[in-house]
Amino acid sequence: MKLFLKVFFLGLFFTAQAQQPLTIEQLINFKKVSIPTVSNDGAAMCYVVETTHVEKNKGSRDLFTASTEGENPEVIQLTNTPNINEYAPQWNAKGSHIYFLSNEEGAPQVWVIDVKSKEKNKITAVPDGVGSFIINKEEQVLFYTSDVKMGKTVSEIYTDAPKSEARIIDDLMYRHWDSWDDYSYTHLFYVPVKNFVVAGAAVDLMNNEPFDVENFDVNSNGKEVVYSCKKLKGKEFAVSTNTDVYYYHTESKQIKNLSEGNMGYDMNPKFSNNGKYVVWESMKTPGFESDKADIVYTDLNTSQSQKLTVNFPEGASNLTWSKNDNSIYFIAPIQGTYQIYQLDIANKKIKQLTQGDHDCKSISLAGGSLIFAKTTMTVPQEIYKYDLSKNKESQLTFVNKKELDQILKGKIEKRMVKTSDGKDMLVWITYPPNFDASKKYPTLLYCQGGPQSMVSCFYSFRWNFQLMAAQGYIVVAPNRRGLPGFGRAWNDEISGDWGGQAMKDYLSAIDDAAKLPYVDANRLGAVGASYGGYSVYWLAGNHNKRFKTFIAHCGLFNLESWYTTTEEMFFANHDIGGPYWKPEMAELYKKFSPHRFVQNWDTPIMVIHGEKDFRVPISEGMQAFGVAQLKNIKSRFLYIPDEGHWVLKPQNALVWQREFFRWLKETL
């Protein structure tokens, strides 16, 4: 008996020892699970797992398969290549082979692997590589995207200056996100294939067009394709969202604009299973990238189109046809989550299928079930199944289970807070592991970017609330004005009012939290990126001594300097309201640009910015840091020369997290 008790208590001791709060290193080393693709018969799925190699400062991706039936199905690793990325899998109709992209021999090419023997072969040898692809049902035609160089570099214009890296720029959109114009355009090609070998010359269906294909789909007959493209250049491209959906037939070579007349975004077209219909996501408002995305349904025989979600309050994404083409499954935001819905095409009735505090990320049909990827605030992306007949959800992959079981997680709470104008606002609060309500904790206000990106149940590998809580901080994350999932008015109110009600919402959230007995009201910080970084800068000049420290990543500091140095001008025109030199805009820039309030800055601030961030150029961060330094405010500038608007390289991510928490430890 004594021996039993000794073993029992030792077991309890080691179990307790095993569970520890999340660390930076654990977060960075979690494996990342991709969106799954499902075999034609719905019985199996293929997905990608990315492994991070911190010492190599990169990751590698491998292919895995598993059954879609039963609980915790057997997993088979198809590839194991630590220095290679194999991704974007697509089953053939028989389920015997999987097509995928691999950079094994340099630029990504289409490969194919035998599911049983694991023998793989390269299919394409496209000089500039393949961006995306679809193989038709009969495996006779391969459609793919690749870049086509149509412009000249300076060294090609002036051949006696071969080492010159100068650029001659006559128009806008000379750089985008994190890349300078490479004088190329992404075109859509198709090529005949026979027995896994290219059997003819590729056809560029956008020959000589200086435009980029965004996404595309292929009819089951392999002869028709629909694709989205913004057929605009330079300044016109920069100020417009007018992306259209085009139909192309490989035999007639005719192109038809299916969305002509709509001046907003039209994206992500999908053929029905019978090939007679097409649906896509359509935004009505020109220049508004976060407008509601309606589902547009088009009969290809009659060319008649209709919107199916006019009365649905939120935008739809991830459109997926039912097997009989009578329904469409889609994902939409609701109250801080992303859920799967079913739309009956005949009567336009919509039913919410999934429930719970999670984010659904994708949908694939597998017989009588839906296979989808999902995250929560405590679990990174895994793959799940929703049984349509039983209305039951089950988990299919457990890639990080062993590591997650060792982590002591903090409690997450939903809290409804009254805003300054009397409305209810959903606020997520994350508590430290082993939370003790009798203690007082330093607390962080998390400011979301976007500005129209919901604070949902995402699992971030940078802004990770569990990691912040593991360091001893309570995290307050409000769904302030401007976020989807709470009705169109709530989403749209932020446009033209960046420093208005949204900032009041932030203050309402942190003031409410400060009243809680376990929140240390004298140790409050505000952190955020992009519009969240803007929010931090704005609050730094308008917080009335609420905060003790700030961290801003890639934030907009001076709206006037930002306006003409960012790239997608339609965003600036819609969300800010227009250029600063227009007389009617003077008051708005005065009220809402953070640089106008630096005379009030008196609080420690950390600035983080990437050199390759062209959405919010690095000069914004440099200006903010310069102000803090010249005002003798404790400040730090974390400069990352090889990152853009995000932090993607493992060692940069490691430094980012360590400096983030070092700053908080010093100042909060």
Catalytic residues: 530, 613, 645
Q: CA-to-CA distance for 618 and 279, rounded, in angstroms?
A: 40
Provide the token pair at 40.
Answer: 């034609």
Element (H, E) at 95: none
Cα dihedral value 426, 432, 438, 443, nearest 10: -60
Question: Considering only CA atoms, which of 238, 317, 235 is closest in space to residue 280?
Answer: 317
Q: CA-to-CA distance for 261 and 247, rounded, in angstroms?
A: 15
| φ/ψ bin of 264: left (φ > 0), alpha (ψ from -120 to 50), beta (otherwise) | beta
Question: Considering only CA atoms, which of 183, 76, 202 is closest in space to residue 142?
Answer: 202
Q: Would you call 352 exposed, middle or buried from its count of C-beta atoms within 10 A (0-12, 13-18, 19+)?
A: exposed
Cα 426 to the center of its chain, rounded Å:
22
Q: CA-to-CA distance for 22 and 606, rounded, in angstroms?
A: 23
Q: Would you call 456 exposed, middle or buried from its count of C-beta atoms within 10 A (0-12, 13-18, 19+)?
A: buried
Residue-by-residue DSSP string for 604-660: -EEEEEETT--SS-THHHHHHHHHHHHTT--EEEEEETT--SS--SHHHHHHHHHHH
Q: CA-to-CA distance for 247 and 226, rounded, in angstroms?
A: 5
Phi, psi of 18 (to 5 degrees): -70, -35
Task: Give the 3-state secondary structure percentages of the chain, helix then strand then coil, rounded to 5.
Answer: 20, 35, 45
DSSP H helical ranges for 296-373: none
* 8 A C-beta contact, residue 366 and residue 385: yes
Provide the token pair at 297.
Answer: 């349904």
Residue-by-residue DSSP string for 485-523: SS-HHHHHTTTT-TTTHHHHHHHHHHHHHHTSTTEEEEE
Number of helices followed by number of strands (H, E) in the chain: 14, 43
| φ/ψ bin of 95: left (φ > 0), alpha (ψ from -120 to 50), beta (otherwise) | left
Q: What is the DSSP letter of 583?
A: G
Provide the token pair at 43.
Answer: 């019985």
Q: CA-to-CA distance for 525 and 658, rounded, in angstroms?
A: 17
- Count of residues in the chain: 668
Element (H, E) at 562: helix 559-563
Phi, psi of 625 (to 5 degrees): -65, -40
Q: CA-to-CA distance for 157 and 144, rounded, in angstroms?
A: 31
> Within 10 Å of residue 360's Cβ, how many Cβ atoms?
26
Q: CA-to-CA distance for 408 and 411, rounded, in angstroms?
A: 10
* 8 A C-beta contact, residue 642 and residue 611: yes
Provide the token pair at 656.
Answer: 């980012």
Element (H, E) at 62: strand 58-67
- Single-letter amino acid code for the residue at 324: N
